[in-house]
Amino acid sequence: MTIVVAITGGIGSGKSTFSNEVLKRGFKLLDSDEQVAKIYKKPSKNFLKHLEKIGLKDVIKNKKINKKKNIKHNICKPKNKNQFRKLYF
């Protein structure tokens, strides 16, 4: 029997800490942070267009998403956090 457990939470909620414990105990893990990192490194053209459309053009550099700039200017601002989160989920 396979058991699947999903862990969710906002930035800084402890997902990575929990994930490291899961790996230490020998369980398999699909890390959503890794999936998001892939999106930052190679976003689709449509995703980039959508970022521009919702006013997040400033986080795009060389067809990649600047994670530090995105966090500083968008995710850390409560009014923008939910809007950006909707792009992923």
Q: Is residue 80 in a domain?
A: yes
Q: What pLDDT sits at residue 24?
A: 95
A 10 A CB-CB count for 70 gives 19
Q: What pLDDT sits at residue 21?
A: 92
Quote the tokens at residue 78.
């409560």
Split the chain (89 residues) into runs of 10 and give each run's mean pLDDT.
83 86 90 83 90 83 84 66 61
- Find tokens 């369980």 and name the residue: 27
Full residue range of the structural domain in which residue 51 is found: 34-88
Q: Is residue 6 in a domain?
A: no
Q: Is residue 55 in a domain?
A: yes
pTM to 2 decimals? 0.54
Q: Is residue 77 in a domain?
A: yes
Main-chain phi, psi angles of 28, to 5 degrees: -80, 155
Q: Is residue 24 in a domain?
A: no
How many structural domains comprise the chain? Answer: 1
What is each CA distance from 4 to 7, 25, 27, 80, 87, in whole angstroms?
10, 15, 11, 32, 24
